[in-house]
Amino acid sequence: MKARLIRSFEIAPAVRHFEFEVLDVEQFDFAPGQFVSLSAVIGGKEITRAYSLASVPSGNRFELCLNFVDDGHFSPLLFAMEPGDESIWLVRLAISCGGSRWASPF
């Protein structure tokens, strides 16, 4: 499933809050403690990283709070995203103890 960035804003140096919407679904349900796995093709390679959900369910939206990792592969891409950007895939919704509710391959 594709995710579109709605907006992001700085909350501290190298820390931003991001609001996304999941495309083509009306409702994106999750529970406290769950995280999403986001994927993107970077330099021709698919890269996936986990991010904890930082919001309550609201329609098809979800929010994240992210640290910028200087020499990272994925976080610089997220920090470079502009509103309307749909370059991110939401591939998994999971809980830290190992459960997953669904997966959507590239």
Ligand X SMILES: Cc1cc2nc3c(=O)[nH]c(=O)nc-3n(C[C@H](O)[C@H](O)[C@H](O)COP(=O)(O)OP(=O)(O)OC[C@H]3O[C@@H](n4cnc5c(N)ncnc54)[C@H](O)[C@@H]3O)c2cc1C
Closest separation in Å from C-beta 78 to ligand X: 7
Taking the CA atoms of residue 70, residue 15, residue 36 and residue 72 in that order, the dihedral angle to the nearest 10 degrees is: 0
Beta bridge partners of 19: 7, 63
Closest separation in Å from C-beta 67 to ligand X: 4
Among 20, 28, 51, 89, contact with ligand X (rule: CB under 6 A): 51
Among 25, 31, 52, 58, contact with ligand X (rule: CB under 6 A): 52
Using rule CB under 6 A, residue 16 touches ligand X = no
Residue 49 token pair: 């990283």
Question: Around Cβ 1, how many Cβ atoms within 10 Å?
Answer: 16
Q: How far apart are CA 22 and CA 20, in angstroms?
A: 7
Q: How many residues bind ligand X (CB under 6 A)?
A: 16
Using rule CB under 6 A, residue 48 touches ligand X = no
Q: Which stretch binds ligand X (CB under 6 A): 22-30, 71-79, 82-90, 97-105?
A: 71-79
In sequence order, which ranges of the chain are alpha helices (DSSP H)? 75-80
Among 24, 26, 71, 82, contact with ligand X (rule: CB under 6 A): 71
**Rg of the chain over CA atoms, in angstroms?**
13
Q: Where along the sequence are the contacts to ligand X (CB under 6 A)?
A: 35, 49-52, 64-67, 69, 71-75, 96
